[in-house]
Structure 1
Amino acid sequence: MCRTKIIASLGPSSSTLDTILNLCREGVVGFRINFAHGDESVWGPTVDNILKVEGLIGRPLALIGDLRGPSIRLGDLDQQLLLKKGETAKLILSGKGSAEKREVPLPVKEVYDKLEVGDTILMSDGRVRLKVTDVFRDYIEVTALTDAAISSRKALVVANKEFNLPLLQEKDLADLNFALRRNFNYIGLSYVRRGLDVKIVKDIIRRSGNDKVKIIAKIETKSAVENLDEIIEASDAVLVARGDLGMNFGLEEIPYLQKKIIRRSLELGKPVIVATQLLESMIENPVPTRAEVVDVSTAVSEGVDALMLTGETAVGRYPVEAVRWLRRVVETTEEKLSISKFRDVNGLNARFAKGVTELAEDINAKLVVFSMFGNTARMISLLRPTVDFYVGTPDIHIARSLVILWGVRIYQVDASDYDEGLEKTYELLKSRDEIRLGDLVILAYGLKDYEQTIKLRRVS
């Protein structure tokens, strides 16, 4: 199994039970549901299929719900609008538009109040570029700077401008409620601007009584990059959202920003995911480009916890093949290249995790941890151990949340205390031939400060 984990976004190309099963067989450990498209009636059956597949394969699968957030999106076009470079169209303050009349629906009043002549509007990860040529109270005239294909509900960004929209809108609250009722493990928070945004959503989740759901902060705006440290510290995990980053920054800055966000996340002790255009060409083609393969390999060697496919699996023609190629590149990179590590840690528990990890590496022992809440497992994962690393936990929700972390091989083990859980995890691994006769094994758990346990055992 890859140590760098694979997450797949689901959509029309991939929501059936058979496709989800095949994605898991190729190495997917978690699924993203993009709440910008569809609602509970659409996604409920998909969640059912994920849980059925989890039972079939006998391992936990993470559920990630991606909130739409304060994004600016088009309304509904009656059909796709195709513009040639230099052709004009209107953005109208309406929920519905007409391709024949070249009227594109943009039902967000705040945009009309702030747009100015000369502004550039970007869509489709920057492939569509429109220049504002005139602004009126209820419509905006634009000229295509490129050949453009414009379709319903596309998100847009205005270059060098941010809009003070509410963090969560009515749809977001409904989607969050659905995710909490269906026991999602992570909530993806879009267009985060500051650490307070994360704290607000965490407070909503806490008041719901579901304190196990974790927040993934998506870094995609200039404000997020400016407030990076406070956002990382407030979050449970971080996602490098390269699509919107590429519309808010120059493309030449994306490699530096990716490296900066990954490094800072790991230095501050938070898991980090990279997403968008990993294997973009595979939306239409059965094999990736050479450049895409190098890009994926670079992200792996930078030490990310997980790679997330988006359009490749949600709407692409080759979702299973895309995962297969991603897995092949990840496996080869992990075998042949070194992975970045950050081992400057503070605090007793973190130092315990570091000591256990380095001891296991020094004597080439397999590392087995039992964890009730996942804290020790998370700390060891952040150290990127070079030895096999297994985690047992009695809580399926904790198991699902840990499965996307680097290097973790997770098992649900029913136990009432740590000693029983550690022994049951050890016996389970023996029965599955994960640890074999003659192997050195370190068994460990941490309860709280000054109360950790470590055992060294040779399998006999």
Structure 2
Amino acid sequence: MQPQLRRTKIIATLGPATDAPGALKRLLAEGVNVVRLNLSHGTPDDHRARAAAVRAAAAELGNEVAILADLQGPKIRVERFANGPIELQAEQVFTLDCRPDAPAGDATRVGVSYHDLWRDVKPGDILLLDDGLIALEVLEVGKQTVRCSVLIGGRLSDRKGINRQGGGLTVAALSDKDRNDIKLAAELEADFLAVSFVKTADDIHTARRLLHEAGGTAALVAKIERAEAIVNLSEIVIASDAVMVARGDLGVEIGDAELPGLQKKIIREALLQSRVVITATQMMQSMVESPIPTRAEVLDVANAVIDGTDAVMLSQETAAGKHPDKAVAAMRRVCLGAERQFEPTEDLSVGAHRLDRTDQAIALAAMFLAGQIGVRAIVALTESGGTAQWLSRYRSIVPIYALSRNAAARRRMLLYRDVNPIDFDAQGVGPTQAARDAIRHLFTLGHLSVDDRVILTTGDHTGQLGGTNTLKLLKVGQGGVAEGLGEL
């Protein structure tokens, strides 16, 4: 019996913990599909070195691994303190200094990175610091100062984040640093570019334009972490190639109680718009220290998988944790366990879906047929990965093998749920011979066995972008020979 294929993809963040000798190879061997370069930390040379190390380790293991470059975004932070961290007490008055030349902070005041903060707030607003661990109520707004009363005190150290409860800060989505980091992502040939603190579709359009001007071809990931993004969710999803449920800042802005329902809403919207969706932040946070996850973390990951997320992401767990490879292994086990309970309930009738493209119609027909007659796999001969993406949007228990000669397309497909990209070159042969060669190739790799029935999608002209227009039902004969059962 062939082993269960994992359908949900795993993203792991690189950092000091993965720089140790052998750590990166162990991480990839445990099943990481995409690595994340967090451009909020480290220097450009750090990221160049990590990207090179990823590609070397992947080549050594014979794996393909995609790279996601994650922009810092205009995260609003307190500046530095003159004598180290301070302790804020409830009902204490504390001032946020918005001047560009604000002195180093003390127990009564501190500078902020967003110098227009005083223009965006009013008395009665609640400001949340350090992911909501500290809460301030705005008492008075002066010219370049925000005088506050401490509602929830605690230890406050350098560069901790600031959010306004309910959102509404007008800071732009792309900072000067982000614009330089977009050029870095293009230089590194990143496969995905994540845009932080997106508020509208225009933020994604601007990032895409800057990326193309820099020569980059990465897919754009919109990080949903602002209250305003929820209001504009549909237009943001449509403008993006993928979305990320970034639960850290989103939970701070909208409140923890609203977060579970919004996570499900974002996943549903992404699937409705045929976009990839990633669930992220503190999924296995206890494994920064512990070698095993908590039961609550297991249920959190499993619920995201059952809801239909394409990928789950590890952040601090792998970047700075004590057990990065164990965190990936735990994530893999939980995904596989949740997938064994998965029962597709999607309505695959034509009337339930808007079909604008031929390859989309072929994908829907393939999934409908797979559910009616029972097949071992769906095989997509694809140049750009477009057909594989459509196939992955229609949830099924049947694995999808996407065969492409295009390495960049294969790496992008590493983020598609259910899709297993495989290097295969059908250039120069007709569609019938390409289908035979594809089945034999999968048989040789051990993915197919004699008597398996397979649905294959292809086009009249192999290697042509957007050319999928044919569906074949095939049976695997002796030696991997494809036997035709029918064609649509």
- TM-score above 0.5: yes
Question: Which residue does the alignment assign to 1:189?
Answer: 195
Residues 72-151 of structure 1 mapped to structure 2, 5 A cutoff:
72-77=76-81, 81-86=85-90, 89-92=94-97, 93=99, 98=104, 103-151=109-157
- Number of aligned residue pairs: give it: 459
Residues 11-50 of structure 1 mapped to structure 2, 5 A cutoff:
11-16=15-20, 18-50=22-54
Pick closer, same or farther for the CA change 1:88–1:411 going to 2, 3 Å. Answer: farther
CA contact (8 A) 1:7 1:308 kept: yes
Distance 2:389 2:339 in 1: 20
Instruction: For residue 28 of structure 1, give the secondary structure of its aligned residue in structure 2.
Output: coil
Distance 2:36 2:345 in 1: 26
Give the structure with higher Rg (CA): 2
Question: Which residue does the alignment assign to 1:360?
Answer: 370
Could you tell me how far 1:389 is from its partner in structure 2?
Answer: 1.5
1:215-250 residue CA offsets vs partner (Å, 9 max, x unmatched) = 111112222111111111111111111112111212
Question: Which residue does the alignment assign to 1:176?
Answer: 182
Of 1, 5, 11, 1:7 maps to 11
Q: What is the letter of the counterpart of residue 209 of structure 2?
A: D
Structure 1 position 57 matched with structure 2 position 44:
no
Question: Which residue does the alignment assign to 1:438?
Answer: 451
Q: What is the letter of the counterpart of residue 345 of structure 1?
A: H
Q: What is the letter of the counterpart of residue 55 of structure 1?
A: A
Q: What is the letter of the counterpart of residue 454 of structure 1?
A: K
Instruction: For residue 131 of structure 2, give the secondary structure of its aligned residue in structure 1.
Output: helix
Deviates more, 1:151-160 or 1:1-10: 151-160
CA contact (8 A) 1:303 1:339 kept: no
Deviates more, 1:84-93 or 1:253-262: 84-93
Distance 2:345 2:103 in 1: 49
Residues 204-215 of structure 1 mapped to structure 2, 5 A cutoff:
204-210=210-216, 212-215=217-220
Could you tell me how far 1:139 is from its partner in structure 2?
Answer: 4.5
1:321-369 residue CA offsets vs partner (Å, 9 max, x unmatched) = 2222211111111112435646433223222101112323422232211
Question: Which residue does the alignment assign to 1:272?
Answer: 277
Structure 1 position 295 matched with structure 2 position 300:
yes
Question: Which residue does the alignment assign to 1:317?
Answer: 322
CA contact (8 A) 2:12 2:36 kept: yes
Instruction: For residue 171 of structure 2, give the secondary structure of its aligned residue in structure 1.
Output: coil
Could you tell me how far 1:194 is from its partner in structure 2?
Answer: 1.4
Distance 1:178 1:318 in 2: 29
CA contact (8 A) 1:393 1:421 kept: no
Pick closer, same or farther for the CA change 1:174–1:382 going to 2, 3 Å. Answer: same
Could you tell me how far 1:91 is from its partner in structure 2?
Answer: 3.2
Deviates more, 1:372-381 or 1:148-157: 148-157
Could you tell me how far 1:63 is from its partner in structure 2?
Answer: 0.8
Could you tell me how far 1:208 is from its partner in structure 2?
Answer: 3.5
Question: Which residue does the alignment assign to 1:336?
Answer: 341
CA contact (8 A) 1:349 1:376 kept: yes
Deviates more, 1:118-127 or 1:140-149: 140-149
Distance 1:413 1:380 in 2: 18
Could you tell me how far 1:62 is from its partner in structure 2?
Answer: 1.4
CA contact (8 A) 2:344 2:396 kept: no
- Could you tell me which runs of 5 or more consecutive residues in structure 2 were left unpaired when the two chains were aligned: 479-488
Question: Which residue does the alignment assign to 2:166?
Answer: 160
Instruction: For residue 72 of structure 1, give the secondary structure of its aligned residue in structure 2.
Output: coil
CA contact (8 A) 1:364 1:387 kept: yes
Question: Which residue does the alignment assign to 2:412?
Answer: 401
CA contact (8 A) 2:167 2:226 kept: no
- CA-based RMSD of the aligned residues comes to 2.5
CA contact (8 A) 2:204 2:239 kept: yes
Distance 2:467 2:26 in 1: 43
CA contact (8 A) 2:75 2:161 kept: yes
Instruction: For residue 13 of structure 1, give the secondary structure of its aligned residue in structure 2.
Output: helix
Structure 1 position 345 matched with structure 2 position 349:
no
Could you tell me how far 1:421 is from its partner in structure 2?
Answer: 5.5
- Could you tell me which runs of 5 or more consecutive residues in structure 1 were left unpaired when the two chains were aligned: none
Pick closer, same or farther for the CA change 1:373–1:150 going to 2, 3 Å. Answer: same
Pick closer, same or farther for the CA change 1:342–1:308 going to 2, 3 Å. Answer: farther
Question: Which residue does the alignment assign to 1:458?
Answer: 476
Could you tell me how far 1:159 is from its partner in structure 2?
Answer: 1.4
CA contact (8 A) 1:345 1:351 kept: no
Deviates more, 1:54-63 or 1:81-90: 81-90
Distance 1:382 1:85 in 2: 51
CA contact (8 A) 2:167 2:254 kept: no
Question: Which residue does the alignment assign to 1:375?
Answer: 386
Deviates more, 1:253-262 or 1:36-45: 36-45
Q: What is the letter of the counterpart of residue 405 of structure 1?
A: Y
Pick closer, same or farther for the CA change 1:127–1:283 going to 2, 3 Å. Answer: farther
Distance 1:8 1:341 in 2: 30
Instruction: For residue 353 of structure 1, give the secondary structure of its aligned residue in structure 2.
Output: helix
Could you tell me how far 1:90 is from its partner in structure 2?
Answer: 4.2
Instruction: For residue 300 of structure 2, give the secondary structure of its aligned residue in structure 1.
Output: helix
CA contact (8 A) 1:366 1:387 kept: yes
Distance 1:416 1:77 in 2: 62
Q: Identity across aligned pairs (percent)?
A: 30
Question: Which residue does the alignment assign to 2:482?
Answer: none
Distance 1:350 1:132 in 2: 52
Distance 1:340 1:84 in 2: 51
CA contact (8 A) 1:17 1:53 kept: no
Deviates more, 1:394-403 or 1:426-435: 426-435
Of 210, 231, 238, 2:236 maps to 231
